[in-house]
Structure 1
Amino acid sequence: MGESSVRVAVDADMPGVREVASHFEILDDWAGMPDFLDAERAFGSLVVGEVDGRIVGFGGVLRRGQVSHLGDLYVLPEHQSSGIGRTILSRLLPSDTPRVTFASDDSRALGLYIRQGMRPVCPLLYLTGSPSEASLPRGFQARGTVDGPRADSGEPPGIREAVMLDGRVSGGDRAGSLSWYAGLPGVTLHVTGGGYAFARMIDEDLEVGPVGGDTPQDCADAVFAAAGAHPGADEVQVAVPGVHPLLPRLLEAGWEIDDLDTFMTTEPGLVRLDRYLPHPDLG
């Protein structure tokens, strides 16, 4: 291997970062808009690994309060097991603050995260279902929803309520990144009593998350309010922690598991996994 270095990304690095991201097909749902890599630079940190001046890997973190959510760690195959990924991770994650990630089934990544102090807590399952009433669990009753045009202040309607609710269940405040996400094309925000849900149309499908609530039922209500507001979607996608009470209800209603990761954290009680459904890319 040639001369390598690891450093914080700058504007000129982004074409190389997106080239690596494209190799792993992680930007397919973000075409034609600011993407989660932009969010990591704005509301966290993005670090690149170079070999002989070429970017061969990167890692990204989003912060919410003191929590560091590791969203990405990718190294091109020919440079894996070279130490670049480990060095990127050490630059990204402070050792004295809480850390969270969604780990794939790559045994090398799992070992790396465990050595960083994180422990597996539960599976994170990626489910798809229909927005039709027939797919709603029995006993569901929709409540009012807050969305619509922006207020005079320019902020999305309901964002303050959503930020407050999210901070109580996700582990920390992230007003900046949530406001950024709510302002993207195709994104709607739904506030339902004690719950909130962000939703984004991706072609003909609806991605719901992050979602949270004061109770597991508030969280569930917000999911279905968001789904019910988009009856024309072909399918609804949501990430559900394995310990969330909503999971068996969705499966009984006919939703299907498409994929899964492992939720890992340094502090198991940090995120209220019975009241929170993360966004796959934003945490």
Structure 2
Amino acid sequence: MTFSSRHTHALPLYTSVGLDAWWPLLYLVGDPRAVRSPAGWTVAPSSPEAVSRFEAGWTGVDRSADHHAWARRPNGVALVAALDGRPLAAGTAAGEGDGFGLVHLATAPRLSDAQAGDSVLAVLAALDNADGNARVCLPAPHPAVRPLLAAGWRATDLDLFMATRIDLLDARRCVPSPALA
């Protein structure tokens, strides 16, 4: 799997080795102050170690090196989102200026699609960027996309999720870093 750019040679190259294009990954930009945290959700700073443990427990994937690297970026912060006090999403925000935003977020497998969308909205609403806007990459079918667009966020670019099977990433649940592909 990979996230293919719209470069004219990318799609033919990836399809020639057996990958199919499944859905667009939207690069969304907007004002976090325009997003309201859904009822019951809280977001708190954490540590890369804690975020990595949550993600490994939920997904079986150890991204501790990634979370440490992301947290070392300018304005990097590991975050845990809880619903009614139960940690159900964990990730890292980082960057500066127009590049600040949610880099990656993992969610507990027991979340419904709506709760997965709410977790993203809660984290984005909690971001504090002195320059105003924040970024997030979301699959087009993700349940947070519609509320973000309704809040004035806009898609500034897109990549294509390319994979041998569509089920390698859950488009209604994942908040991937395009660099992970």
Structure 2 unaligned regions, length at least 5: 82-86
Structure 1 unaligned regions, length at least 5: 1-99
Instruction: Give, in whole Å, the separation in 2 of the partners of 1:250 and 1:128.
Output: 9
1:190 and 1:225 in contact (8 A); partners too: no
> Which residue of the other structure, out of 5, 13, 32, is the alignment partner of 1:131?
32
CA 1:164–1:180 in structure 2 vs 1: closer, same or farther (change >3 Å)?
Answer: farther
The aligned runs of 1:20-35 (5 Å cut-off) are none
Letter in 1 for 2:153: W
Structure index of larger Rg? 1
CA 1:203–1:106 in structure 2 vs 1: closer, same or farther (change >3 Å)?
Answer: closer
Shift of 1:277: 1.3
Shift of 1:185: 4.2
TM-score (norm 1): 0.54
Determine whether 1:109 maps to 2:10.
yes
Q: Name the SS of the counterpart of 1:158 in structure 2.
A: helix
Of structures 1 and 2, the one scoring higher in RCO (CA 8 A, sep 6+) is 2
CA 1:123–1:204 in structure 2 vs 1: closer, same or farther (change >3 Å)?
Answer: closer
The aligned runs of 1:232-251 (5 Å cut-off) are 232-251=130-149
Determine whether 1:160 maps to 2:53.
yes
- 1:46 corresponds to: none
> Aligned pair count?
172
Letter in 2 for 1:123: P
Shift of 1:194: 1.2
The aligned runs of 1:12-91 (5 Å cut-off) are none
Determine whether 1:182 maps to 2:71.
yes
Shift of 1:208: 0.8
Percent same amino acid at aligned positions? 26
1:159 and 1:189 in contact (8 A); partners too: no
